[in-house]
Structure 1
Amino acid sequence: MKHLPEVDHDSGSPDDEEGSEAPQPSTSGLRKSESLDSISLGSEKPEEKRFKRGVVYISFIPQGMTPTILRDRLTRFAPVGRMYMQRVEEKGEKKRKKKKESTWVQPDNYSEGWVEFLKKRHAKQVAALLNNQPMGGKKKDRFHDHLWNLKYLSRFKWIHLVERLSFEKAVMRQKMQNEISQAKRVANFFKETVEREERQRKRLKKSNSGASENTSSAGGPSPYVFAQRETVEEKKAKKPQVNQDRENFLKSLFS
């Protein structure tokens, strides 16, 4: 090594010399690692920017608009990722109607929706461009005169929507369980009331029958008197009296 004769051996120990020689390979190693880090970081930054997405809230969805139609209309302006539309459950309506020989399914109606754009700036631009603007299309299109109601949700991510929907589902499940338990309590209370009244009625009937038996055994007057037919002996005892009365009547006539 050419620089060894120039080193002053009196000013330091061998450990110091090794320490002075060590930074040379380490600096080269650091430069290599820095170059690799810069390459890796440079490749990651565009991915973060590319996958930074934005969510737009739709407060009104026309009747009959399906997720496919909504996706097709919004894809004309910017690429769209995930979508969620809140379905309206209408009671008392038959969704299936027979038309000729085939079965026609009535499309669901939606009240609101959330759309995730692949780029955040596209979401902002679409919300600013289409809000309160007619949906357009052909004049005969059923959605031609409807207006867009869009709002960009700042600092809102798709995970927030998932958490909100799961929370609402849990609340609905808990509410349903409470209603079922309340209905069971009412049914059990009604059943217990009927059984208690039935037991009281049987107990009262039994007590009344026991009281009547006690009065009859004590020799008291019977509450009911039934008419009975005369016996044969009673009829024979009455016949001589009838004949005697007849004879007395005849004697009184001819005397």
Structure 2
Amino acid sequence: MARKSRKSVKKGSKANKPSRPVRWALVWGVRLFGVVLLMAIAGTFLWSVLNPPTTLYMMQEKSRLGSIEHEWVPMDGIAPIMARAAVAAEDANFCRHWGLDVAAIRRAIDDGGNRGASTISQQVVKNVYLWPGRSWIRKVLEAGMTPLIEAIWSKRRILEVYLNVAEFDEGVFGVEAAARHYFGVGADALSDVQAARLAAILPSPKSRSARDPSTFVRKRAAQILDGAATIRADGRAQCFES
């Protein structure tokens, strides 16, 4: 009887082991995850010191339109009011979170998902590393990469990249191209009102105009100017202005 019980235990232990195909899938799954993680880290370090020459969405739009307007400009070449206006419009607590604004996410959930909760950091991850759209896969990757960006990049660098890859009109990417497209000036020469209007057309630049602003855009720009002054006064602009 004892022998039989030992045999039954041995058989049971073998039965509990995953089959060879399952083990193979697990091993290669772990290896694939490791490769993806290393690529993400390498890519994050790469664009922390080098400027991304383009994005997947830019390439798609260039293929569709034939050409796009885009010129990289460093943060020192952007009017300070433009940086404050963008933060006031898109992510007022940019300096106070680590990439994911939990309070904004909760408000979005309470509102039934009718308001956006993406931070500027999340938008940079989406624009630079991922693809447009609302799929769950993209959202998971975005949520995973955003803290990595925050850990390696400075807040000033995150905002610099954001302002250089954001879409401001059909085929117009980056604040330098947008400033010349709408107002005929460089990004460093933007006035307070011009900067606020550029920020006001986000995140729907194809349906709004900074050159011929609607009543909504004018009101939104005025609110953004107030918000920009507020975040400067209460210290929420220090992380990218210092």
Indicate whether the TM-score tops 0.5.
no
- If you compute each CA radius of gyration, which structure gives the higher value, 1 or 2? 1
Q: TM-score normalized by structure 2?
A: 0.25
Q: TM-score normalized by structure 1?
A: 0.24
Higher normalized contact order (CA 8 Å, seq sep 6+, divided by chain length):
2
